[in-house]
């Protein structure tokens, strides 16, 4: 229960990697605000299971982020922010529309920027806090058909390093986790042929599960990681090696 008494925000927390992170942080004692945009039934069910709070908000917008901040403030936080919200709109760059580019970058990178900006004044005042950005192995090695997604996730790594330098003196730690191919709704859209080809590239020869990611996030949020900031941790079965 190393996070007992702390208030954590997990964006995109209703399913997939986000759900696994919510369960892990709740298991560590945190009260978790489960942000969702469309998955209301999953978010409400999860909140009841972990004694958390489900909050509907579009974190790609400033008002949406302010809604989450207000809810966290009423509970005495926020102490932890996990920027997990993300979408894909895949396609080769030569045929990628402005909308496909802008929506992915706005959601994946823009939401992390806006949520971090929202929580920082409180964290700076309390001289403590943790931000974990969920990036992707695509940011480290690229992935054909995902120029928008890879760019947005690479932006999170650059943002992580920069923000760690800016707020470290206030004892706020900022790190990133870069998952590989994980079984989620996103990978469920891929064909078996694509998944088999991806698996062949992974040294451990299997796709990951959301539960493979969540323990690292819990570690980074806890006191055992008190001297770690500005880092990116790839959890990808060796894909980025």
Tokens of 149: 């997604």
Dihedral sign, Cα of residue 138, residue 166, residue 32, residue 27 = positive
227 is catalytic: no
Distance CA 85, CA 229 (A): 21
The enclosing H or E element of 42 equals: helix 40-50
The CA-based diameter of the chain, rounded to the nearest angstrom, is 51
CB contact at 8 A, 18 and 59: no
Q: How many CB atoms lie within 10 A of CB 7?
A: 22
* Count helices and strands in the chain by DSSP H and E runs: 10, 7
Give one DSSP letter per residue of 201-233, joined into a string.
Answer: HSTT-S-B-HHHHHHHHHHHHSGGGTT--S-EE
Pairing of strands 172-179, 232-235: parallel
Q: Catalytic pick from 149, 181, 219, 233?
A: 149
Looking at the annotation, which residues are catalytic?
149
């Amino acid at each position: 229960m190393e996070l007992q008494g702390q208030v954590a925000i997990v964006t995109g927390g209703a399913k997939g990697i986000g759900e696994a992170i919510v369960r892990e942080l709740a298991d560590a004692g945190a009260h978790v605000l489960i942000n969702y945009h469309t998955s209301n039934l999953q978010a409400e069910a999860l909140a009841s299971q972990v004694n958390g709070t489900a909050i509907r908000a579009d974190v790609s917008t400033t008002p949406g982020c302010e809604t989450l901040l207000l809810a966290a403030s009423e509970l005495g936080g926020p102490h932890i922010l996990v920027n997990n919200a993300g979408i894909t709109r895949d396609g080769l760059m030569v045929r990628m529309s402005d909308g496909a580019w802008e929506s992915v970058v706005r959601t994946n990178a823009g939401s992390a920027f806006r949520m971090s900006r929202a929580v920082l004044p409180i964290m700076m005042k309390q001289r403590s806090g943790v931000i974990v950005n969920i990036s992707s192995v695509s940011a480290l090695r690229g992935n054909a058909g995902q120029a928008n997604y890879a760019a947005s996730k690479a932006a999170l790594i650059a943002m992580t390093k920069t923000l760690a330098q800016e707020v470290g003196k206030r004892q706020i730690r900022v790190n990133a986790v870069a998952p590989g191919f994980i079984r989620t709704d996103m990978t469920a859209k891929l064909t078996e042929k694509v998944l088999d080809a991806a698996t062949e590239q992974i040294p451990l020869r299997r796709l990951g599960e959301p539960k493979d990611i969540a323990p690292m996030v819990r570690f980074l949020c806890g006191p055992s990681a008190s001297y770690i900031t500005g880092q990116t941790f790839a959890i990808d079965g060796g894909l980025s090696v």
